[in-house]
Structure 1
Amino acid sequence: MSYKYLFNPIKIRGLELKNRIVFPAMGTKMATEDKFVTKQLIDYQAERVKGGCGLNFTEVCSVYSKAAPKKFLAISEDKYIPGLKELTDAIHENGGKAGVQLWLGGLAVGSDQTQMIIIPSPMPVPGTEYTLPEASLDTIKEAVEAFGEAARRAVEAGFDVIEFHAGHNYTPHSFLSPYFNRRTDEYGGELKNRARFLIECIEAIRKNIPEDMPLFMRIDAHDDYLEGGLTIEEIIEFCKMAGMAGVDVLDVSRGNFSSAAIKYEVPPIDLPRGFNVENAARIRRETGMLTIAVGRINDPHQAEDILTEEKADMVVIGRAQLADPEFCNKAMAGKEYSIVRCIGCNQGCYDGFVSTEMPFITCLRNPALGREEEYRVVMTATPKKVLVAGGGVAGLEAAMQLKKRGHVPVLCEASSSLGGQFALAGEAPRKAEMKEAALAMGAQAVREGIDIRLNTLVTPELIGEIKPDEVIIAIGSMPIKLQISGANLPHVTNSHDVLAGKQKISGKAVVIGGGLVGLEVAEYIHKNTDNVTIVEMLDKLAKDLGDLRSICVMESLYAAGVKTITNAKCIEIKENAVVVDRMGNIEEIPCDYVVSAVGAKSRGFADIREYCSKEGIPVHIIGDALRARRALNAVAEANEVIRRIS
């Protein structure tokens, strides 16, 4: 496909960008504890610049020393300028343009209890007797000055663009929104007063930067899940004020972290691609300002259509460039088929960011994220034949990385298709992109000329025929069988068979297991059933599901009328009912079908391991074959193993 707009330059004041693609501010946890730039962060940004991106923004960068949480970048003091200059230099040296997102975090600063939380109105802290105070007039004045000083530092650090963050529940957005702002002074009340703090910040920024330097502003299209919050009409009116004050470009986002609307900030696969584009289009149309569309834009054709239809002037392509830093170059070269697609799983980018166990973000599709130098492909000097058992995502990733390094992989898959359980998971509601990604991964492996043998079970005899130097076992897992009376009755099946279309469900159904798979299979079958009940022995559903996907899945289950029972252990299955022990009370749930979704266990491969041990063939076990977990782990392990095969 030829691109008429996406890869055309755009000029904003004195700045010309080589294309219309923006890499947005996204939290990474790659800054130091004391808020400085790291080489890791520079490598991460530089990789996306090398990949062809037109404009790269830092993650949120604190402007005010009293409200600058640790592990986030800061530009609140002059001491941060040299490190930020190293970042902009790296971006410029690789042919890109650098933007800094100026940030005052409000409630988000609560992640560091040593810092000040600046909010417009008092707010009780749930579960305590403490109330967060409203910002004083002196604090407001200091914060405005801090934005201006941060802008000065940004110029000294060599940034080409500044973005003022006025969305996502942070301090500026909180002042603008009537849901949060209940002040009665000149900073509260009607829209003009609620906008006062933001306009003062914009004017302070504009005064401290050159006339020809563009000023972007990130905004929410409207308030979601906040009763009496901002409407899109108010946002449009405010944007006109901001334009008069010196803002050049509107970066139209959506979401807040005070409600379920946080799902719009890092939208999972459950939300439609481009779900926020029409909001950007309306704001562009009614303000007449340059506008950026944001929200699950992960395909170059989709991005081109947005620009062609004049719904925006630029597009944010964020997580898609986490998944594949070469996204832009591949699209420009007409190699869209080779793009490693973001699927909105959120496992590495969002779940990894909020996790205390992960030191920095990662990506299911790209384990090299945050390890760009460490994971640089190094060709082997001693090519080896490596037998890969299993054609799921772990096996495919292993085979393709082996090929890149100059080894000779032979991939054997017992079934008639590639993709494994990743493709099967794509049968669940709203997860078609997951199946597409699994199938595309298989197609890419074929294009790369990997020796792929379908309908081929790996046995000791096959290993003897192929004579590999090493073996990778990636044969996945299988459903755990229920170990209770009635588990073998004919109306009892498992989630894998249901999602694969091997077992049709009708009438009344009970799903045993309230983890991710149980919830998705319940939603999958509900249209063909009279009612569905999920039984979970723990006190909460979806404990193995990330926060944002959990919000979407639970909302969908509620809308579908699926019943849920927690703290209930299934103790027997009868011909027409499931018997549960619910905190000491024995109950029967009538049903026509029972679907087991109590987890998975590794498939057996003792014969393979024994043969390889006897023959002195090194064996590596990855993914669910090692232990049933998330796809994120499987792909990461594949890469770790490949790096160890010399």
Structure 2
Amino acid sequence: MNYKHLFSPIRIRGMELKNRIVFPAMGTKMATEDKFVTKQLIHYQAARAKGGCGLNFTEVCSVYSKAAPKKFLAISEDKYIPGLKDLTEAIHKEGGKAGIQLWLGGLAVGSDQSQMIIIPSPMPIPGTEFTLPGASLDTIKEAVEAFGDSARRAVEAGFDVIEFHAGHNYTPHSFLSPYFNRRTDEYGGELKNRARFLLECIDAIRSNIPEDMPLFMRLDAQDDYLDGGLTIEEVIEFCKMAKTAGVDVLDVSRGNFSSAAIKYEVPPIDLPRGFNVDNAARIRKETGMLTIAVGRINDPSQAEDILESDKADMVVMGRAQLADPEFCNKALAGKAEDIVRCVGCNQGCYDGFVSTEMPFITCLRNPALGREEEYQFSMTENPKKVLIAGGGIAGLEAALQLKKRGHSPVLCEASSSLGGQFALAGEAPRKGEMKEAALAMAEQVMREGVEVKLNTPVTKELIGELKPDEVFIAIGSAPIDLKIPGATLPHVTNSHDVLAGKSRVTGRAVVIGGGLVGLEVAEYIHNSTDSITVVEMLDKVAKDLGQLRNICVMESLYTGGVQTVTNAKCIEIRNDAVVVERQGNIEEIPCDSVVVAIGSRSRGFDDIKTYCKEEDIPVYVIGDALQARRALNAVAEANEAVRAIS
């Protein structure tokens, strides 16, 4: 397909972009503790510029020294200019344009308790007697000056464009929103007063940059889940004011972290692709301003359609380029089928960002994220024949990477199809993109010329026949059986068989297990059952879901009327009821069907491992075959194993 709109140039003041694709500001945890640019961050950004992106933005960059949390970039002092200049030069060297997102984080700065939280009005802290104070007039004045000073530094550092962040619950958005801004002075009340701080910041920025330098503004289309918050009509009126003040481009996002609307900031697979495009289109039409569409845009054809339909002038494709830094080049070259697609799992990007265990973000589809220098591609000088047992996502990833490095992988799958549990997970509601991704990986394996044998379980006899140099074991896991009376009754099945369409659940259903799989099965069977009760041993359901997927799944369960019972241990299954022990009491939950979803356990492979040891064949165990976990781990381990082969 010819993406003529997507890859057409656009001029904004004195800056010309070679295409309409924007790599947005996304948190990485790649900055130093004291807020400087790192080589890791430079390689990460340069890889996307090299991949053909038109415009790269830094992650949020603090403008005010009193409100600059650690591990976030800063431009609040001159000492940060050299590192930022190194970043812009690296992006320019790869043929891209560099943008900086100027940020005053408001409540988000609370991640670093040594820093000042700047909000418009006093805010009580739930569960404490403490109230965060509203900003003083002196603080407001200092913050405005900080934006201007930071804009000057951005010019010195060689940035091509500045973006003023006025969304996502940060300080400027909080001043604009009547939900947060309860001031009674000149910075509160009617819209023009609530907009005053933002317009002063815009004026300060504009006054410190060249006339031909563009100014973008990221903002929310509306306030979601906030009673009495911003409406899209108010946002449109504010945008008109911002246009007069000197803003050139609107980057129309959505969401806030004070409510369930945080799901819109890093939208998971549960939200429709392009869910916010129509808001951008309306704002564009009613303001007459250049506009960027944002929100689950992960396919070049989808992006082309948005532009061709005149709904936006540019598109943000962020996680799409986390998953595949060569996204733009592949689309431009007509090789869209080779793009590694983001599936909105949020496991590595958002969950990785908020996790205290992950040092920086990663990506289920791209373990090289944040390791761009370390993971530079190299062909092997010692090609080997590698037998891969298992055609799930770990086995497919291993096969692809081995083939690309010049080895000769032979992939054997015991079933009649490839994709494994990643494809099976795609049967759950709203997760079809995961199945599509698994099938696309299988097709790419075929295109790359990998030898694939279906309906072929790996045995020691097969290993003896094929005589591989190395063996990868990626045979996955199987559902754990429930060891209680009645577990083998005819009306009892397991989550895998339900999602695979092998078992039909009707009547009053009980799902045993309230983790991710159990809840998704509950959603899956909703239309075929009269009622659904999820039983969980722990004190709450959905403990293994990331925050944003958790919000979406729990909202769906609530809407569907699914009941949950926690702190409940199943002790027996009868023909008409599940018996549980709960807080020392025995209770019966009436049912006609039971689905067991208590987790998975690695499949056994001792005979294979023993044979390989006897024959001195190196063995690598990856994915659920090693331990049943998330797909993120499976793909990462496949890459590590491939890299370990000399």
Same structural fold, with TM-score higher than 0.5 when normalized by the shorter chain: yes
* 1:149 aligned residue: 149
Q: Which amino acid aligns with 2:290?
A: L
The aligned counterpart of 1:207 is 207
Give the equivalent residue in structure 2 for 1:33.
33
- Taking the TM superposition and a 5 Å limit, the aligned residue runs for 1:449-598 are 449-598=449-598
Q: Residues of 2 paired with 1:399 and 1:592: CA distance?
A: 44
Deviation of 1:270 (Å)? 0.1
- State the distance in 1 between where 2:320 and 2:560 align: 31
User: How far apart are the structure 2 equivalents of 1:344 and 1:3?
Assistant: 23
1:211-250 per-residue CA deviation (whole Å, 9 max, x = no partner) reads: 0000000000000000000000000000000000000000
> What residue number does 2:360 align with?
360
SS at match of 1:244: helix
Question: How many Å apart are 1:531 and its aligned residue?
Answer: 0.3
What does 1:200-239 correspond to in 2, within 5 Å? 200-239=200-239
Q: CA separation in 1, counterparts of 2:87 and 2:298?
A: 26
Q: Give the AA of the match of 1:77.
A: E
Report the counterpart of residue 380 of structure 2 in structure 1.
Answer: 380
Partner of 1:421: 421
Deviation at 1:537, TM superposition (A): 0.6
CA distance in 1, matches of 2:238, 2:511: 49
Task: Map 1:60-99 to 2 at 5 A.
Answer: 60-99=60-99
Secondary structure in 2 matching 1:90 = helix
1:410 counterpart residue number: 410
Query: How far apart, in 1, do the equivalents of 2:467 and 2:380 lie?
Result: 20
RMSD across aligned C-alpha pairs, in angstroms? 0.4
Partner of 1:397: 397
Q: After superposition, what is the alpha-carbon deviation per residue over 1:249-288, rounded to whole angstroms, capped at 9, x for unaligned?
A: 0000000000000000000000000000000000000000
Q: Secondary structure at the match of 1:456?
A: coil
Q: Measure the CA separation in 2 of the matches of 1:377 and 1:94.
A: 17
2:389 & 2:309 partners in 1: Cα distance? Answer: 47
Would you identify which runs of 4 or more consecutive aligned residues in structure 1 move more than 6 Å? Answer: none
The AA in structure 2 aligned to 1:353 is F
Secondary structure of 2:58's partner? strand
What is the alpha-carbon distance in structure 1 between the residues aligned to residue 290 and residue 388 of structure 2? 51
Task: Give the whole-Å Cα distance in 1 for the aligned partners of 2:452 and 2:46.
Answer: 35
Deviations 1:71-116 (A, max 9, x none): 0000000000000000000000110000000000000000000000
Is 1:101–2:101 an aligned residue pair?
yes
Give the letter for the 1:417 counterpart.
Answer: S
Q: State the secondary structure of the residue aligned to 2:396.
A: helix
Distance in 2 separating the partners of 1:71 and 1:136: 27
Show the 5 A alignment for 1:235-246.
235-246=235-246
- Give the match for residue 446 of structure 2: 446
**Identity across matched positions, percent:** 84
The residue aligned with 2:603 is 603
1:312 is matched with which residue? 312
Q: Quote the Cα distance in structure 2 between the aligned partners of 1:127 and 1:412.
A: 56
> SS of 1:471's equivalent?
strand
Which digits, 9 at most, give the CA deviation of each residue in 1:422-456, with x for residues without a partner? 00000000000000000000000000000010000
- Distance in 1 between residues matched to 2:383 and 2:6, nearest whole Å: 41
Once residues 19 and 504 of structure 2 are traced to their aligned partners in structure 1, the CA distance between those partners, rounded to angstroms, is 49
Find the aligned partners of 1:487 and 1:607 in 2 and give their Cα distance: 29
Q: Which AA in structure 2 matches 1:199?
A: L
For each residue in 1:116-164, what CA deviation from the matched residue of structure 2 results, as whole angstroms up to 9, or x when unmatched? 0000000011111110000000000000000000000000000000000
- Partner SS state of residue 475, structure 2: coil
* 2:351 aligned residue: 351
Give the equivalent residue in structure 2 for 1:116. 116
In structure 2, the partner of 1:43 is 43
Amino acid of the structure 2 residue aligned with 1:225: Y
**Helix, strand or coil at the partner of 2:514:** coil
Secondary structure of the corresponding residue to residue 262 of structure 1 = helix
One-letter amino acid matched to 1:639? N
What SS does the corresponding residue of 2:197 show, helix, strand or coil?
helix
Counterpart in the other structure of 1:13: 13
Partners of 1:381 and 1:333 lie apart in 2 by 29
Structure-1 separation of matches of 2:105 and 2:418: 45
Letter in structure 1 aligned against 2:293: A
Question: Aligned partners of 2:415 and 2:83: how far apart in 1?
Answer: 52
SS in 2 for 1:564: strand
Which secondary structure state, in structure 1, belongs to the residue aligned with residue 60 of structure 2? Answer: strand
- Residues of 2 paired with 1:619 and 1:296: CA distance? 39
Q: Which residue of 2 aligns with 1:3?
A: 3
Amino acid at match of 1:494: N
The alpha carbon displacement at 1:380 in A equals 1.2
Q: What one-letter code is carried by the residue in structure 1 that aligns with 2:147?
A: F
Quote the Cα distance in structure 2 between the aligned partners of 1:317 and 1:380. 33
Partner residue, 2:160:
160
Q: Distance in 2 between matches of 1:107 and 1:459?
A: 57
**Other structure's SS at 1:189 match:** coil
Tell me which amino acid in the other structure corresponds to 1:4. Answer: K
Secondary structure, counterpart of 1:59 in structure 2: coil
TM-score normalised over the length of structure 1? 1.00
CA distance in 2, matches of 1:283, 1:35: 35
Q: Which amino acid aligns with 1:124?
A: P
Which residue pairs with 1:342 in the alignment? 342
The structural deviation recorded for 1:379 is 1.2
Q: Report the TM-score when normalising by structure 2.
A: 1.00
How many angstroms apart in 1 are the aligned matches of 2:620 and 2:540? 36
1:41 and 1:519 map into 2 onto residues whose CA distance is: 37
What is the Cα deviation at residue 4 of structure 1?
A: 2.2
State the distance in 2 between where 1:564 and 1:38 align. Answer: 46
Aligned partners of 1:571 and 1:239: how far apart in 2?
Answer: 60
Question: Which whole-Å CA distance do the structure 2 matches of 1:266 and 1:597 have between them?
Answer: 28
Q: Secondary structure at the match of 1:358?
A: coil
Distance 1:589 1:561 in 2: 16
The DSSP-based 3-state class of the residue aligned with 2:594 is: strand
Instruction: Work out the CA distance in 2 between the residues paired with 1:3 and 1:268.
Output: 26
Gapped regions of structure 1 (runs ≥ 5): none
Listed one character per residue, the Cα deviations across residues 537-591 of structure 1 (whole Å, up to 9, x for unaligned) are 1001111110000000000000111111111111100011000111111110010
Equivalent pairs, count: 646
For 1:129 and 1:563, locate their aligned partners in 2 and report how far apart those are by CA, in whole Å.
35
Cα shift readout 1:168-198 (whole Å, capped 9, x = no counterpart): 0000000000000000000000000000000
Query: What is the distance in 2 between the residues matched to 1:377 and 1:306?
Result: 34
Q: 1:271 is paired with a residue of what secondary structure? A: coil
Give the counterpart letter for 1:538 in structure 2: L
* d(CA) in 2 for partners of 1:616, 1:390: 21
One-letter amino acid of the structure 2 residue matched with residue 541 of structure 1: V
Instruction: State the SS of the aligned residue for 2:306.
Output: helix
The CA distance in 2 between the partners of 1:440 and 1:556, in whole Å, is 28
